[in-house]
Amino acid sequence: MIANYIGELMIEIKNLSFRYENKFIYNDFNLVIPKNQVCLVTGINGVGKSTLLRLIAGVLKPKTGEIIFTENMGDDPRRSIGFISDKLSLYKNLTVAQAIDFHKSVYRLDEFDDSMLKHTRIDYRQKIKSLSVGQQTIVHLNLIFSTKPKILLIDEVIVALDAYLKKVVLQKLLQLITESKLTVIMVNLNFHDIEPIVERVILLKDGRVLVDEKIDDLKQKVKKIKSDVPPGHLPILSRSNFNNSMEYFIYPFNEEYRKTIEGEIVDLNLTDIVSGFIGGEYA
């Protein structure tokens, strides 16, 4: 299902196919990403979340189809895209100072805003490989932020940060979203960390978009019912047995259902909503 957008679009993915060896990850895949929104891409392990980010970043090449950036991104779209993957791919034998120097020369930057690094105890003479995963993440994020990207692609790295650095990064993200009209696409396993900033949820299944909704709409549309009597007349997304009590995830939920339901109706947070969908996949 592809949502209709009234606002400006940033990325349009059309008829995209990508396969790894002989297995198709995406076949005739379509998606639109609106401008200046924080989107969370989710789905079961191996569904192609990280692959999608890599395709948008240009580090993987699609077999067919196209990724269109609706805003003018200059001669090379990668100049306006910041991408950080869970692999934390960098030249790890360089010192932090050398990595900054390298990044500045590639992006032709006169100045480098290292404000995020100042929150850490990183010595610029340290080699990147000697830093902790969290410190490497901060260095990489700072490198990316310094280029003032229009699109930011973050793949499961926020998890590696301690509570303080997580707060610093999320504050910086919010600042960039407000000031620079940044579009963010995230893949994250810990939804609790990022729920305050996520605006849209894109759930992938079998190389297709299963859900593409604003998080507020999704919270209205997905509910959990605790009941011993199966609500057979409702669209059950998935079910689980919790402490000998049955729980049913309903999607799409309609307010009219309240009149007919026996049991407790529970509002859900993002973690519960996604586990409702993913639980359905594993069931």
Minimum CB distance to other proteins, residue 189 (Å):
19
Minimum CB distance to other proteins, residue 208 (Å):
22
Minimum CB distance to other proteins, residue 85 (Å):
6
Output 57 or 270, the one with its CB closest to other proteins: 57
Minimum CB distance to other proteins, residue 98 (Å):
7
Q: Does 8 engage in binding with other proteins (CB under 8 A)?
A: no
Output 4 or 105, the one with its CB closest to other proteins: 105
Q: Does 150 engage in binding with other proteins (CB under 8 A)?
A: no
- What span, in angstroms and rounded, lies between the C-alpha atoms of 267 and 259? 16
Contacts of other proteins in 23-82 (CB under 8 A): 54, 57-61, 76, 78-79, 81
CB 81 within 8 A of CB 45: no
Minimum CB distance to other proteins, residue 28 (Å):
20
Between 84 and 123, how does the x/- string for binding to other proteins read (CB under 8 A)? -x-x-xxxxxx---x--xx--xxx----------------
Q: Which of 238, 202, 211, 187 is nearest to 83 (CA)?
A: 187
Locate the DSSP E strands across the chain.
9-20, 23-34, 38-42, 64-69, 81-84, 151-155, 183-187, 200-205, 208-214, 223-226, 236-242, 245-250, 264-266
1, 21, 262, 282: residue in contact with other proteins (rule CB under 8 A): 21
- What span, in angstroms and rounded, lies between the C-alpha atoms of 121 and 126? 11
- What span, in angstroms and rounded, lies between the C-alpha atoms of 156 and 154? 6
Evaluated on CA atoms 209, 283, 274, 46, the torsion sign reads negative
Output 91 or 164, the one with its CB closest to other proteins: 91
Both tokens assigned to 147: 């280029």
Q: Does 83 engage in binding with other proteins (CB under 8 A)?
A: yes
Output 27 or 227, the one with its CB closest to other proteins: 27
- For 21, phi and psi rounded to 5 degrees? 55, -115
Residues forming contacts to other proteins in the complex (CB under 8 A) are 20-21, 54, 57-61, 76, 78-79, 81, 83, 85, 87, 89-94, 98, 101-102, 105-107, 129
